[in-house]
Structure formats: structure tokens, C-alpha cells
């Protein structure tokens, strides 16, 4: 969940980007030992530093266990799930995922759970780091406008999921109630340059991916395990573009990766890197030189790698439709000197024409023998089907495009006439273009569609997503081809 908006009638204002509550101490994306340590209370306890994803609290420098106070507030609020799509999230700490909690082996955690009076539901918390019934769930069952307290001793090191476990459990998890708690071993973890918090989860909306507006939870899709959204850190886009992670060549990176599900196992992978080290399932077992690591639902993994060359590393669930079509994608932009010994980049490009054609084409679609669209409305409706089959893979189902690769068709200021769209589909498009202030320099292949299909899809694009409107007929397509 990226941007939170005011939920009607609650009167709490959540600011952009992670919606941190003002009193909560947080750290920056880079953990620096010795900074922003937990603060001691008058009774000698410590108040835990809690951070908003992708930030991780600083390593613990204490050499002995202590009592750590964790104070967490449950708030139900409306926030952004994707561009133009909102959802009523149930949250720990007004953020999805909930804050990262970092403690040390044998610490005693004094856990306070508050449920905001505006909540409609009771909630609780099951921390997988707890040894005890329900992981704390029964002890922390909290009605709206109440606060509960329980304590536990962290007797096993590792990286653990926490989640709400109030019935219906699946629904509480599906609505955003989860996070990570790290129990550091006594000696701590080896020093790295940067640490980040990443949590994968699904959202089950009534509408399809990208359908705009406030989307209700779909119990049917949740039961069928058919999520329209699979995301990192609570929303589509939480880790790309202006939210991409940053690193420098030569640095070591540690990712704390959790999978809250509620249904799908993650095949976590970073395109362009190899994990030097994986703490398998977040435990003590270390595997080296791993391409993709399986993260079970209700599980986690710690992965580490050194970045050797500049460029963009892409975090994905390698069940790849989830990444490119449902939101499970993130980026680490690495700055620094090229190292051609490790990676040259492209050294040459030549035309390769085994079949003698100079035009890049896609296979011809079978033209069904049906009468053409009779009016504009019908053309738009049929065009939508053509769009979903032929264009959505690149321009995305709701026309928003894909950062740096495929320009948006939604509200495109490049589309100044119907011919622009028709021409792109008839002839393909290449060379530098600017769409809504962003430049693209790529190739759109020529698509082998019938004149009728081209007319329909062009008319659909023109009349969707706040574009200029208008109609393209098969006769117009013929004219343009001549």
C-alpha cells in the first residue's frame, strides 16, 4: 500500500508514502550500526525501533538480552493498491506490510496491541517467533477501542512472519495484516552495506487487475487461489520508479524477504544477480550461489549478494506472470563504474534475416468470418477483446504501460489524432518518442491484424482512459495502408 487516503469518517490523516505515524521512530533505507538505536525507558526497558518497508531497523549492538517494548496499533483504512485502484486495508501500524521488528535472541518482548476505535473488526497477532499457543493470538485478541498486552521470550533466532489470526483468518491476512520480525543471533549478523525489507502477498479483488476504483475483497477468488494482484510491499509499484531501491557498485546487499500469501508460494529471484548466500527459510541453514529461492507461505528467507556492475536489478516472483502482469516486481538501481570483465553489455548488433524479411512481424491472426462492427459502440466493445489479446501484454490491461519499456496508452499525450494509433498498429513503431513527459526508444512490432481488428482496437484505445475519442473504420485503415 503506497499512498493512504483519508477514510471517510475516521478523521485520521495519513501522509503519502508508507503512512508512518508521526510518533513512530524510523530509520532510512540504509542501516548504519550505531545510529537510531532503540531508546531506553525509565524502567530500563527498550522501546523497539519499528520501520516502514523497505526500511530495516539498525542492527542490534547490545551484547546482552533485555526487555523490548513493542507498541503496535491496528487501523483499518483505505489506501492505494495500484494506480487508480484503492482497497480497504486492515493494517498493523497504518502500513502494509506492518513494521519490521528487530530484536535479539533471548530478549523478552512486551507486546502491546491496540485496536483503533474506528475499526469494524477485532484483531490479534500471531508472531511465528513466539513459542506459545497461537503465537500470541489468543492473548492478543483485541476488540475495537481496546488494548491488550502479553510477553514472550524469543528463544529461537531467525526471520519470522507475523500476521493477524482472527477468524476468518484468511480474510484478515488477505486484507494486509502481516509483517516480519527478525530475531538476531547472539553474535548478530555479518555486516553488510544495505538491508531492505520486502514482503510478498496477494490481493483478491472483485475486479480484474487494474479495474479502477475502490475494490472489495473477493472471497470466491481467495478460495480459488486466483489473485488479480501479487505484489511486493503492499501495492503495485511500491518498489519501482521513484520507489526503486538504490545501491552502489561494490556494496553488499541483504534482503529480508517474507511471504504472507495467503495462498501462493514465491519463487523469489533477482534478475541480473546470483544470491551469494541464502539463509534458507530464514533459519540457520546457509546455501550459496542460488538463482531462485522458494519462500513458503507464512515463511521467509534472507538473501545476500554483492553488486558488481551498474544497472537495474529486477526483483520478481519467477512465476513470471505474477511479476509482469500482477505486480510482483521491484527494482534495485545500482550506480557506479562499469566492470567489463564481469559484464560487457551489448558489443554489437547486426541484422539477422534467415527468412529474408526486413520487417519484424508477429504471427498472422486468424481472421474469423464474421460481419464487421455495425456501429461505434460495437467497435469499441470488440476492440477491447483485440486489445486484451494483442496489446495488453505490453501496454498492460489498463493501458498504463510499463516503466521504461512500454509507453502508456492511458491519457497518452502522444495520441493527438486517430491516425497516430492506426499507424502504430499498421506499421509498428520505433525510434525515440515522448509520451506524457517520459521518453521511450524501443520497437513496437508490426502486428498482423485484419483491417477490421485494427479499426476496432484503435477505436477502443481512442475511447478509453481519457484519450481523445473518435472512430477508425476498416476503410480508414485501407486508406492509411496505401
The residue ranges that bind ligand HEC (CB under 6 A) are 390-391, 393-395, 406-409, 412, 414-415, 421, 424-425, 429-431, 433, 435, 440-445, 447, 457, 461
Q: Phi and psi for 251 in degrees, rounded to 5? A: -85, 155
Distance CA 219, CA 184 (A): 37
Shortest CB 187 distance to ligand HEC, Å: 51
**With respect to ligand HEC, which residue has the nearer C-beta, 318 or 411?**
411
Distance CA 370, CA 366 (A): 12
| Under 8 Å between Cβ of 360 and 446 | yes
Shortest CB 400 distance to ligand HEC, Å: 10
Distance CA 420, CA 458 (A): 9
Cβ atoms within 10 Å of 138's Cβ, excluding its own: 13
What does 54 interact with, of Cu ion, ligand HEC, none (CB < 5 to 8 A by kind)? Answer: none
Shortest CB 218 distance to ligand HEC, Å: 29
**With respect to ligand HEC, which residue has the nearer C-beta, 130 or 409?**
409
Residues 6+ apart with CB under 8 A from 405: 394, 440, 442
| 329-335 and 67-82 beta bridge pairing | unpaired
> Degrees (nearest 5) of the Cα angle 152, 283, 324?
110
Q: Which of 102, 116, 172, 382 binds Cu ion (CB under 5 A)?
A: 172
Q: Which of 164, 244, 297, 421 binds Cu ion (CB under 5 A)?
A: 164
What does 214 interact with, of Cu ion, ligand HEC, none (CB < 5 to 8 A by kind)? Answer: none
**With respect to ligand HEC, which residue has the nearer C-beta, 27 or 325?**
325
Query: If binding is defined by CB under 5 A, does position 123 make contact with Cu ion?
Result: yes
Q: Which helix (H) or strand (E) holds 329?
A: strand 329-335
Kindly give the interhelix angle for 474-481 and 418-427, rounded to the nearest 10 degrees: 60
Q: 224-234 burial by CB neighbour count: b if 16+ within 10 A, else e? A: eeebbbbbbbb
Q: Which of these, 452, 472, 450, lies nearest to 461 by C-alpha position?
A: 472
**With respect to Cu ion, which residue has the nearer C-beta, 76 or 107?**
76
Q: Which of 94, 166, 398, 456 binds Cu ion (CB under 5 A)?
A: 166
**DSSP assignment, residue 141?**
-
**With respect to ligand HEC, which residue has the nearer C-beta, 190 or 445?**
445
What does 166 interact with, of ligand HEC, Cu ion, none (CB < 5 to 8 A by kind)? Answer: Cu ion
Query: If binding is defined by CB under 5 A, does position 177 make contact with Cu ion?
Result: yes
Shortest CB 104 distance to Cu ion, Å: 28
Q: Which helix (H) or strand (E) holds 433?
A: strand 429-435
Shortest CB 425 distance to ligand HEC, Å: 5
**With respect to ligand HEC, which residue has the nearer C-beta, 235 or 412?**
412
Distance CA 331, CA 316 (A): 9
Following DSSP, what letter does each residue of 263-309 receive, concatenated?
A: SPPEEEEEET--EEEEEGGGSS-EEEEESEEEE-TTEEEEEEEE--S
| Under 8 Å between Cβ of 266 and 167 | no
Following DSSP, what letter does each residue of 169-212 receive, concatenated?
A: HHHHHHTT-EEEEEEE-TT-PPP-SEEEEEEEEEE-BSSPTT--
Q: How far lies 471's CA from each of 53, 105, 378, 466, 474, in Å? A: 46, 67, 11, 15, 10
**With respect to Cu ion, which residue has the nearer C-beta, 91 or 259?**
91
Site for Cu ion in 239-278 (CB under 5 A): none
Shortest CB 332 distance to ligand HEC, Å: 23
| Under 8 Å between Cβ of 181 and 160 | yes
Shortest CB 443 distance to ligand HEC, Å: 6
**With respect to ligand HEC, which residue has the nearer C-beta, 198 or 415?**
415
The conformational region for residue 231 under phi > 0 = left, psi -120 to 50 = alpha, else beta, is: beta
What does 407 interact with, of ligand HEC, Cu ion, none (CB < 5 to 8 A by kind)? Answer: ligand HEC
**With respect to ligand HEC, which residue has the nearer C-beta, 274 or 443?**
443
What does 274 interact with, of Cu ion, ligand HEC, none (CB < 5 to 8 A by kind)? Answer: none
**With respect to Cu ion, which residue has the nearer C-beta, 4 or 391?**
4
Distance of CA 139 to the CA centre of its chain: 32
Shortest CB 114 distance to ligand HEC, Å: 47
Shortest CB 72 distance to ligand HEC, Å: 44
Distance CA 113, CA 34 (A): 28
What does 425 interact with, of Cu ion, ligand HEC, none (CB < 5 to 8 A by kind)? Answer: ligand HEC
**DSSP assignment, residue 231?**
E
Region near Cu ion per CB under 5 A, out of 1-9, 137-145, 169-177, 266-274: 169-177
**With respect to Cu ion, which residue has the nearer C-beta, 95 or 464?**
95
What does 280 interact with, of Cu ion, ligand HEC, none (CB < 5 to 8 A by kind)? Answer: none
Shortest CB 232 distance to ligand HEC, Å: 24
Tell me the residue nearest to Cu ion as measured from the CB.
Answer: 164
Shortest CB 217 distance to Cu ion, Å: 13
Region near Cu ion per CB under 5 A, out of 119-127, 258-266, 425-433, 458-466: 119-127
**DSSP assignment, residue 29?**
S
Judged by DSSP in three states, 37 sits in: coil
**With respect to Cu ion, which residue has the nearer C-beta, 166 or 266?**
166
Binding site for Cu ion (CB under 5 A): 123, 164, 166, 172, 177
Amino acid at each position: 500500500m503506497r499512498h493512504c487516503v483519508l477514510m471517510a469518517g475516521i478523521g485520521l490523516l495519513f501522509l503519502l508514502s508508507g503512512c508512518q505515524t508521526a510518533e513512530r521512530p524510523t530509520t532510512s533505507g540504509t542501516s548504519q550500526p550505531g545510529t537510531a538505536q532503540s531508546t531506553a525507558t525509565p524502567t530500563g526497558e527498550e522501546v523497539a525501533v519499528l520501520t516502514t518497508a523497505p526500511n530495516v531497523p539498525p542492527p542490534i549492538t547490545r551484547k546482552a538480552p533485555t526487555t523490548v517494548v513493542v507498541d503496535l496499533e491496528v487501523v483499518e483504512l483505505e489506501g492505494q493498491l495500484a494506480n487508480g485502484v484503492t482497497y480497504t486495508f486492515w493494517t498493523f501500524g497504518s502500513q502494509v506490510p506492518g513494521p519490521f521488528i528487530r530484536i535479539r535472541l533471548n530478549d523478552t518482548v512486551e507486546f502491546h496491541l491496540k485496536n483503533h476505535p474506528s475499526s469494524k473488526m477485532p484483531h490479534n497477532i500471531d508472531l511465528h517467533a513466539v513459542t506459545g499457543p497461537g503465537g500470541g493470538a489468543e492473548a492478543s485478541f483485541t476488540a475495537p477501542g481496546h488494548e491488550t498486552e502479553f510477553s514472550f521470550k524469543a528463544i529461537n533466532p531467525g526471520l519470522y512472519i507475523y500476521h493477524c489470526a482472527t477468524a476468518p483468518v484468511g480474510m484478515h491476512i488477505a486484507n494486509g495484516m502481516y509483517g516480519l520480525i527478525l530475531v538476531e543471533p547472539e553474535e548478530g549478523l555479518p555486516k553488510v552495506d544495505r538491508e531492505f525489507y520486502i514482503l510478498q502477498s496477494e490481493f483478491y479483488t472483485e475486479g480484474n487487475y487494474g479495474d479502477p476504483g475502490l475494490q472489495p475483497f473477493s472471497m470466491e477468488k481467495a478460495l480459488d487461489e486466483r489473485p488479480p494482484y501479487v505484489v511486493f510491499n503492499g501495492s503495485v509499484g511500491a518498489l519501482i520508479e521513484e520507489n526503486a531501491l538504490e545501491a552502489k557498485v561494490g556494496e553488499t546487499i541483504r534482503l529480508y524477504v517474507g511471504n504472507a500469501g495467503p495462498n501462493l508460494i514465491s519463487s523469489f529471484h533477482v534478475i541480473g544477480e546470483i544470491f551469494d548466500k541464502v539463509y534458507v527459510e530464514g533459519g540457520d541453514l546457509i546455501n550459496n550461489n542460488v538463482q531462485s529461492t522458494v519462500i513458503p507461505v507464512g515463511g521467509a528467507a534472507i538473501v545476500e549478494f554483492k553488486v558488481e556492475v551498474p544497472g537495474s536489478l529486477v526483483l520478481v516472483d519467477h512465476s513470471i506472470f505474477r511479476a509482469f502482469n500482477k505486480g510482483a516486481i521491484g527494482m534495485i538501481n545500482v550506480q557506479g563504474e562499469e566492470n567489463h570483465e564481469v559484464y560487457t553489455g551489448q558489443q554489437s548488433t547486426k541484422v539477422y534475416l534467415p527468412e529474408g524479411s526486413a520487417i519484424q512481424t508477429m504471427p498472422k491472426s486468424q481472421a474469423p468470418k464474421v460481419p464487421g462492427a455495425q456501429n461505434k459502440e460495437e467497435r469499441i466493445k470488440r476492440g477491447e477483446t483485440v486489445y486484451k489479446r494483442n496489446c495488453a501484454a505490453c501496454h498492460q490491461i489498463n493501458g498504463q504501460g510499463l516503466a521504461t519499456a512500454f509507453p502508456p496508452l492511458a491519457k497518452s499525450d502522444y495520441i493527438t489524432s486517430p491516425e497516430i494509433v492506426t499507424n502504430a498498429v499498421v506499421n509498428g513503431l520505433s525510434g525515440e518518442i515522448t509520451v506524457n513527459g517520459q521518453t521511450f526508444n524501443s520497437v513496437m512490432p508490426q502486428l498482423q491484424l485484419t483491417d477490421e481488428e485494427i479499426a476496432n482496437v484503435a477505436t477502443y484505445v481512442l475511447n478509453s482512459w481519457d484519450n481523445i475519442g473518435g472512430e477508425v473504420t476498416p476503410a480508414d485503415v485501407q486508406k492509411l495502408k496505401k
